[in-house]
């Protein structure tokens, strides 16, 4: 069991003394006040960099074993998990099954608030069992208050089958999770509204976990997303620009290469820079586990 730095009343439910007269302020003053409160978020995240790094190490351990990541949350926390899971396939070319999200209340809760759903200590376990959670996977629980039954039961279930788990919270608490990321952003602008600072800090951490993991899995070349899935005109244009940038060709030739490579950015680049066929380029990339830099070197 990992224990965060201290325990006490939920910070997310405490009254923020700096915002008690927010309803008496001008619109501009409200914006300034919220901006000042949000400035605390970066510092809170920075203080947890060691735990965030440890979480990324666990995620990589699962991904390298062809296992899965499960984000589990309720309300805003659950929606943040869904957003993160949904963004990875188009950005990094991941299989939709690799990174999944479970939200209390199911699909309906994505669009409509189903507050009572978070109190179930059974539903998340049922969902994880249905998805076939294994000891090689990892469960990332998201609970600003640290005590959401839907999330805590998921972490306990993961523990029971020797599956690694991470808890992302904004309130100090004890947890059975292997890594606890405690984002002490302080009381919210509106008491208990964790869609504000807590959500902002949580989204930053989720971004770090998925982005760093994908980089370590060879999904980028420098800061270019070479596993992008060009399923829209915007993403096709981005793919052309990436091939042009790395291969040193004009956009017309880059598009021709991509068409030959069935719009696989990595394959198109290897074809040009290593003077190989589509088949041989794909074979070379496979021998390098998809790492483009290694294939080119």
3-state DSSP call for residue 102? strand
* 137-155 as b/e: b if 16+ CB within 10 A: bbbbbbbbbbebbbbbbbb
Q: Give me the catalytic one of 37, 84, 118, 282.
A: 118
Q: How far apart are CA 8 and CA 141, in angstroms?
A: 20
Q: How far apart are CA 105 and CA 76, in angstroms?
A: 12
Is residue 13 among the annotated active site residues?
no
Q: Give me the catalytic one of 87, 176, 245, 253.
A: 87
Residues 6 or more apart whose Cβ sits within 8 Å of residue 78? 71, 72, 101, 102, 103, 104, 105, 109, 110, 142
Stated as kind and residue range, the H or E segment containing 179 is strand 179-182
Is residue 282 among the annotated active site residues?
no
Q: How far apart are CA 152 and CA 206, in angstroms?
A: 18
Q: Percentage helix, strand, coil, to 5, in the chain?
A: 55, 10, 35
Stated as kind and residue range, the H or E segment containing 166 is strand 164-169
Q: How far apart are CA 101 and CA 77, in angstroms?
A: 11
- Active site amino acids: 87, 118
């Amino acid at each position: 069991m990992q224990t965060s730095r201290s325990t006490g009343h939920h910070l997310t439910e405490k009254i923020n003394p700096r915002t008690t007269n927010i309803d008496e302020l001008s619109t501009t003053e409200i914006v300034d006040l919220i901006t000042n409160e949000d400035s605390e978020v970066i510092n809170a995240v920075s203080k947890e960099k060691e735990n965030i790094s440890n979480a990324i190490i666990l995620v990589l351990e699962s991904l390298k074993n062809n296992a899965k990541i499960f984000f589990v949350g309720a309300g805003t926390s659950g929606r943040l998990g869904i957003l993160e899971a949904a963004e990875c396939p188009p950005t990094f070319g991941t299989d939709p099954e690799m990174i999944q999200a479970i939200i209390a209340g199911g699909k309906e809760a994505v669009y409509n608030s189903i507050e009572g759903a978070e109190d179930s200590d059974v539903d998340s376990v049922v969902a994880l069992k249905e998805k076939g959670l294994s000891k090689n996977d990892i469960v990332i629980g998201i609970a600003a208050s640290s005590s959401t039954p839907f999330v805590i039961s998921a972490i306990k279930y993961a523990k029971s089958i020797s599956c690694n788990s991470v808890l992302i919270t904004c309130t100090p608490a004890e947890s059975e999770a292997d890594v606890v990321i405690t984002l002490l952003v302080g009381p919210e602008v509106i008491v208990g509204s964790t869609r504000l600072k807590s959500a902002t800090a949580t989204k930053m951490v989720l971004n770090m976990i998925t982005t760093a993991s994908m980089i370590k899995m060879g999904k980028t070349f420098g800061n270019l997303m070479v596993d992008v899935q060009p399923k829209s005109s915007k993403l096709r244009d981005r793919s052309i620009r990436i091939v042009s940038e790395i291969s040193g060709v004009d956009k017309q030739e880059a598009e021709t290469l991509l068409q030959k490579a069935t719009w696989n950015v990595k394959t198109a680049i290897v074809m040009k820079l290593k003077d190989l066929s589509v088949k041989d380029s794909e074979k070379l990339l496979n021998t390098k586990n998809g790492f483009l830099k290694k294939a080119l070197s």
